[in-house]
Structures are given as C-alpha cells and as structure tokens.
Amino acid sequence: MRKSRLSESKQQRLIELFISGSTARTAAALIGVNKNTAAYYFHRLRQLIYQAVEDETLFSGEIEVDESYFGGRRKGKRGRGAAGKVPVFGILKRGGKVYTKVIPDVRSTTLMRIMEQKIVPDSIVYTDSLQSYNVLDVSDFHHVRINHSNLFARGRNHINGIENFWNQAKRHLRRFNGIPREHFGLFLKECEWRFNTPDPKAQLLLLKQLKEKKKSNVISFFLLLELKLTLKI
C-alpha cells in the first residue's frame, strides 16, 4: 500500500473494522475520518487480498462445484433468467477451502476449463443437475450429481458446502448497498478469503503481513531506482 497520511492507530482500527465486516461509512464515523478516506483504505485492503488469494492451489478428494449469480434486480432461473447478474463459479473441497471465479457464462466448456485447471484427476466431483455438468460423465473425474427437484441430500451426495458459502457471501455483500461491477471481483475474493481464513485473529495477522510486504516492496523499488540513477551519473 502507498504511504498513508493516517496515523498507525487509525490504520489499525480501520483494519479491525474491515475484519468485523463494517462498511466504510460506518468505519469513518467510528474513527472520525472522511468516508472517502475509509472507502479508499478498504479498497486497498481488498486489492491486497485479491493479489494474495490468486494462487495455484489444486483441489483433490471430495469436491463440490456450483454456479451462482450475484447482483442485478431481476430474479429468474439460472442462465437465461439471470439478466443483470454476475455469474460466478465455485469449487469447494469438503473440510477445506473454496475457490471462486467470475465467469462469462455457464456453458460446459467454460466450467470444464476451470475444473481441469483446479481439480486433480480421479477426484470425486459433486454437482447439481445443471446440464452443463453432463460433460463430467466422460472426464477424468468421478461425477456424482444430486437432483434438487427431488431432494437436496442423499448421504454424502450433496453440495451443501458450496451452497453454504454462497449464502455467507451474499449475506456479507448485501450490507454494502450496491457494488460497482468493476469492483465486484475484489469483493468476491474478500468473501473467499474470509471463508478460507475464518479466525479474526488470523485475518488481522495476515492483513498486517500483506500491508508490510507491500510497503517493503515499494521501498525496495525506490531504492533500486535511486541506485540505477546514481550509477548513470
């Protein structure tokens, strides 16, 4: 993060309020800073999180996948009924982490490309009965589907884990009263990060580490630039 004019104590409080799920407006009122300052600081925190969670982690074992839609005012069925909404694909390892990605559509080619990149072959992949998942029947994965028109779970055959994540994410995002579409990816990765790191103390430590790492990288850049300019002279 760039050097902030905020005192260290106010930055600490902003990070703590961010972790608690406060909006920038509420945080600004509690700390006594301009709401735009708080909003920008929260935006920078989300950028740090976004950069940190984009990794090459692979999923193996029992995996749940599902698609969901965020935003928009029009309710409707999946796919064609999702006008104005942002489609998101999610992968969750049972007892483990979740991965999310904004997608252009829910075609089988789109979903399969992501699954092949993120899921280890021979894993058990649980889905609902969306037709796009039929391609899994002739893939390197063991496909198990649940038909939600009949029931939501049959023993281990369910996708309750990923659906629980969708509910948590949407509940968190509703408090922001509208999110600019160009920033939605940052908010989505924030939800992913919160789910994967549920302990508030661990969240606080990680954000501090990310903040210090960013500051160190900026300092190193300017030191290197100064050295290059000195050598030219």
pLDDT tens string 164-187: 999 999 999 999 888 989 999 999
Domain check: are 31 and 106 in the same one?
no
Domain check: are 170 and 140 in the same one?
yes
Domain check: are 171 and 80 in the same one?
yes
Looking from the CA of 126 toward its CB, the CA atoms found within 13 Å total 22
pLDDT at position 73 is: 59
| 154 within some domain | yes
The CATH number covering residue 111 comes to 3.30.420.10
What would the pLDDT profile of 16-55 be if each residue is shown by its tens digit? 999 999 999 999 999 999 999 999 999 999 999 999 886 7
| 113 within some domain | yes
The C-alpha atoms of residue 189 and residue 102 are separated, in whole angstroms, by 10
The C-alpha atoms of residue 91 and residue 93 are separated, in whole angstroms, by 7
Q: 59 and 91 in contact (C-beta within 8 Å)?
A: yes
| 92 within some domain | yes
Domain check: are 49 and 32 in the same one?
yes
Reported pTM: 0.84
Domain check: are 166 and 69 in the same one?
yes
- Residue 38: C-alpha distances to residues 50, 173, 189, 194 (Å): 18, 17, 19, 20
Domain check: are 84 and 38 in the same one?
no
Domain check: are 151 and 217 in the same one?
no
Domain check: are 12 and 92 in the same one?
no
Domain check: are 40 and 133 in the same one?
no
| 39 within some domain | yes
What length does the chain have?
233
The CATH number covering residue 212 comes to 1.10.10
What would the pLDDT profile of 126-135 be if each residue is shown by its tens digit? 999 999 999 9
| 107 within some domain | yes
pLDDT at position 114 is: 97
Query: What residues does 148 pair with on adjacent strands?
Result: none
- The pLDDT of residue 216 is above 90: no
Mean residue pLDDT of the chain comes to: 86
Domain check: are 137 and 45 in the same one?
no
Domain check: are 38 and 112 in the same one?
no
Domain check: are 158 and 212 in the same one?
no
| 170 within some domain | yes
pLDDT at position 137 is: 94
pLDDT at position 108 is: 96
Count of CB atoms situated within 10 Å of the CB of 174: 10
How many domains does the chain contain in total?
A: 2
| 117 within some domain | yes
Domain ranges, residue 208: 8-53+199-232
| 183 within some domain | no
